[in-house]
Structure 1
């Protein structure tokens, strides 16, 4: 299993180094309009996971895999009260952590990853959560999405997190046709300035949650309906364009 996971991470790094193809002018122009409108619609780009520091956000993001932020926010207060630091969590009993995170789903894997992450932070990074994607993705339970969330939200560094919302909306808006989250990330990186990567991702996530639902997009309420290539598609075809087959990226 660990060999497969290592191979996937190595593959992600390999893909990341490939330069993105230059997008057609119409896509570049559309992306600029989308970015500016997002800034108007959502003036404050926020991460809806409750946290006070990098360690807490890292743990919360690991828990958010295939779980809502609202549910994670119900679980983390008790988790952080008992294990407030990486040092404490690294020494935790796995059964106890499982009890605390059970309601987030896949609790056995998540508990193991949380303790493994904390242990790695202590032993390999001196107790400090690393800032570089290449370091972050070596931590148990951490993929490029989680790494980019940390970079953009906590460290104020360029990082464009591609979750299911970002992937779905990017395809619907005609910014990419890719299904793989890593490829989507690097195509979007080529469209937007690095300083806007984090804000674009956070705002698109908000829009996906509030307006552009996976199954029932509210096109009549959407501020992008005039430029969205998917707004005139039949609902069944639009759902297909969302890339429902793509796996959720951690």
Structure 2
């Protein structure tokens, strides 16, 4: 894929959705961090349902730590891997208080030093909470980048680096939101809905799907 096509893809996605953001519900960097930690192998809908209740009683490292693992578990037990997530969230809250004065750090190194926080989670927080031009490659972005030819790569890090290298600067801040939403709602895993895809004329996917009968 050439630079002209790449620019056209992002211009088209921007025109469709000028101000994209995460579908996780949050009001502070701490709430976002916790929501992203809970979202691993879970849907945003299920996380939002749990955090809607959780954040009413605990939305700071201090109040979350006061719940303890058993207390936190009661709020997140409907989310997959909740026991391990509760353990990591409580440990992260403790480190935020001990090392960062209860504030979420705005550096990848510091974020990745927190229990349960990997590169993808760190990138989401840096981008969404601190407006840094990072790209968090989840399964949706990995699929879209490879399928369209936008930034092929054998693993998430390779795709992340390719996107950072080839995406025009003006689109970097919002690129991962556009690609996640496109993968979630249009360029789906089992059957991409090419027949109503706004970037279909620019996409290099060979096996484009026709519209189903009646669509």
**What's the TM-score once normalised by structure 2's chain length?**
0.92
Residues 1:233 and 2:207 aligned together = yes
Residues 1:218 and 2:193 aligned together = yes
Inter-partner Cα distance in structure 2 for 1:151 and 1:174: 26
Residues 1:137 and 2:112 aligned together = yes
Give the drift of 1:234: 6.7
**Greater displacement, 52-61 / 217-226:** 217-226
After the TM superposition, list the runs of 4 or more consecutive aligned residues in structure 1 that deviate by more than 4 angstroms: none
Q: Is the 8 A contact 2:152 2:162 kept in 1?
A: no
Deviations 1:83-104 (A, max 9, x none): 1211121233211211211111
Inter-partner Cα distance in structure 1 for 2:144 and 2:78: 28
Give the drift of 1:194: 4.6
Number of residues of Structure 1 aligned to a counterpart in Structure 2 = 209
Any residues of structure 2 matched to 1:120-199 within 5 Å, and which? 120-194=95-169, 196-199=171-174
Q: Is the 8 A contact 2:7 2:168 kept in 1?
A: no
Inter-partner Cα distance in structure 1 for 2:187 and 2:152: 17
Q: Structure 1: 5+ residue runs without aligned partners?
A: 1-25, 236-250
Give SS of 2:85's match: helix
**Greater displacement, 160-169 / 175-184:** 175-184
Query: Equivalent residue for 1:14?
Result: none
Query: Equivalent residue for 1:73?
Result: 48
Query: Equivalent residue for 1:82?
Result: 57
**Greater displacement, 195-204 / 181-190:** 195-204
Inter-partner Cα distance in structure 1 for 2:112 and 2:168: 23
Inter-partner Cα distance in structure 1 for 2:133 and 2:170: 6
Inter-partner Cα distance in structure 2 for 1:194 and 1:134: 23
Deviations 1:106-144 (A, max 9, x none): 001110111111111111111110001111111111111
Inter-partner Cα distance in structure 2 for 1:193 and 1:218: 26
**What's the TM-score once normalised by structure 1's chain length?**
0.79
Distance 1:130 1:195, change over 3 A: farther
**Greater displacement, 138-147 / 176-185:** 176-185
Q: Structure 2: 5+ residue runs without aligned partners?
A: 210-215
Residues 1:55 and 2:59 aligned together = no
Distance 1:200 1:234, change over 3 A: closer
